[in-house]
Amino acid sequence: MQTTVRSAITFTGVGLHSGQPARMTIHPASADYGVWFKRTDISLGDTMIPARFDAVEVSPLCTKIVNGAGVFVSTIEHVMAALAGCGVHNALIEIDGPEVPILDGSSAEFVRAILARGVRSLSAPVRAIEILNPVAVHTAGGWAMLSPGQGFTMKFHIDFVDEAIGQQTKALNLANGTFVRELSNCRTFCRRAEVDYMQANGLALGGIPGENAIVFDGDKVESGAGLRHDDEPVRHKMLDALGDLSLAGAPIIGHYDGHKAGHAITNALLRELFANPDAYRVVTCDAAMAEQLPGAGVERHDIPAVA
């Protein structure tokens, strides 16, 4: 059955790029509501923004959603990944600023709070998007593909010049708490060569190496207590991809393959998918199908000890 959070959960912090403080609360919602954001700091006009692929405004460094009135919320990918990875289908997220708090740079704090508060079943079945035929998007920088498969599986490859990152490839079946165990505590990262440029252009103003981001500089790693996984960068890219794919509006049954892909490529992939009706169908999940989706069977002990 569809789910929502058992009761309201509040987070406070600063935005990674804006540096602005924000208070954000995830509220329970009814079946078939989906996920919506509401800007509580804006008093006039339309303040509701759907967490959907067609509300995304292309941004190279984060996922930003915008409504018809121009009201937006950015860097939603980590909380969206947490909701998807914990199997939460419906929620109203109120926020009093333009950017979701970065917290520790991963989804861990969102996941811990959601699982501590609990998830409540609703009186409607889960509907999923089953991939029937492959769809792909290629750019000069990378590519991504959705193809048929059982449950939801993901493979990701990255390639950076910094020796501390290099080439990394990982494949996971995201059923049965895998997201919570393997990906939820993996933090956002960037290269030292990019930090000064971003900050000079009004970005990464809330970033603090070792506290809410990892910074790589050649063979050096600025991450406080060190990496949480040897391949934390590729795992974080997978975390981002799950959050971005959740903007499809329903869980996906199939396989995602990302090669040096980012937010823009994954969003373009969803747009390509929904532009091709022969590539997918919406199915009502029975118990066996639902058990293969991210979030099925997640328990609090799945949270990594380092989260």
Contact between 98 and 73 under an 8 Å Cβ cutoff? The reply is yes
Q: Report how far residue 202's alpha carbon sits from residue 176's, in angstroms, rounded to the nearest whole number.
A: 40
Buried b (16+ CB within 10 A) or exposed e, 158-191: beeebebbeebebebebbbbbbbbbbbbbbbbbb
Q: Report how far residue 105's alpha carbon sits from residue 184's, in angstroms, rounded to the nearest whole number.
A: 10
CA-to-CA separations, 86 to 4, 107, 110, 265, in angstroms, rounded: 10, 11, 10, 24
For 245, phi then psi, to 5°, come to: -70, -25
229 is catalytic: no
Nearest 10 degrees: Cα torsion 117, 84, 102, 230: 110
Catalytic residue among 78, 89, 255, 263: 263
All residues at 6 or more sequence positions from 248 whose CB lies less than 8 Å from its CB, including other chains: 53, 129, 270, 273, 274
Residues annotated as part of the active site: 263
